[in-house]
Amino acid sequence: MARRTASSSVSLSCPSADAATVNSARTLRSIANRVCRTAAGSTRVRLQAQPLQSQSLRCTQLAMAVRPASSLREEIASGIVRIRRRLVAEADRRLAEQGKTVLGFQVLSALQRRGPSAQNELAEDIGQHPTGLSRLLEELEHARLVRRTRDRADRRKIVVEVTARGRALLAQGRPLVNAAVEQVLAPLGRAERQTLRNLLWRMLDRSDS
């Protein structure tokens, strides 16, 4: 696996590097030193003689530190969108092999977590338009994966719940989805995953408040 920088790629698994790579690392170190002197004013920050991998990581960190705030926000937003697309694509590919879809699995999973739910509340929970969700629920109901009934207290509301057959399908599909998640998270260690989870939940809690 390679660790990428803005202008070079240094293998983390290779103990040696060719002359071009060494020169590239030296150039990056020189640039990083100039950036540090400019950003810190009178404070001089120097990169000591280190392995090429460490130099590459330091250069990447320095470059990130001086990026404009707007660029950082854009990169975070772009990264979140790309990771979501990758996760959905991986899960969809695995589920499709068994005739399932990501959206169908998402609906069943939400119903199992929430219990019987009003259709409009379910749509909001999974981020789907009520009209589109209604069509999907018709398909799931036809397959006997969900059941829809009128709310006894308010006949205008439609309550949806997952059936025993739907729960069985969830049990079959969950290992496939977990495998997709694991593939996307593969570059992260356990501590990094815990940090990512905590940051995501903090963002979600703030947006829900």
Q: How do residues 121-137 score in pLDDT, each as one tens digit?
A: 999 999 899 999 999 99
Q: Is the pLDDT of residue 5 over 50?
A: no
What is the distance of C-alpha 76 from the center of its chain?
Answer: 11
Whether this prediction's pTM lies above 0.85 is answered by no
DSSP 116: S
What's residue 134's pLDDT?
92
The whole-angstrom separation of Cα 175 and Cα 183 is 12
pLDDT digits (tens, 9 = 90+) for 139-182: 999 999 999 999 888 878 889 999 999 999 999 999 999 999 99
Least Cα distance to 104 among 112, 20, 80 occurs for 112
The whole-angstrom separation of Cα 146 and Cα 164 is 9
The whole-angstrom separation of Cα 59 and Cα 81 is 26
Report residue 37: phi and psi, to 5°.
Answer: -65, -40
pLDDT digits (tens, 9 = 90+) for 73-110: 999 999 999 999 999 999 999 999 888 899 999 999 99
Domains belonging to the chain, first-starting first, are 2-66 (no CATH), 71-208 (1.10.10.10)
DSSP 144: T
What's residue 206's pLDDT?
80
DSSP 124: H
Is 170:109 a contact under the CB 8 Å cutoff?
yes
pLDDT digits (tens, 9 = 90+) for 41-82: 443 333 344 444 455 555 555 555 555 667 989 999 999 999
Could you tell me if residue 115 is left (phi over 0), alpha (psi between -120 and 50 degrees) or otherwise beta? left
At 13, list the tokens.
């698994």
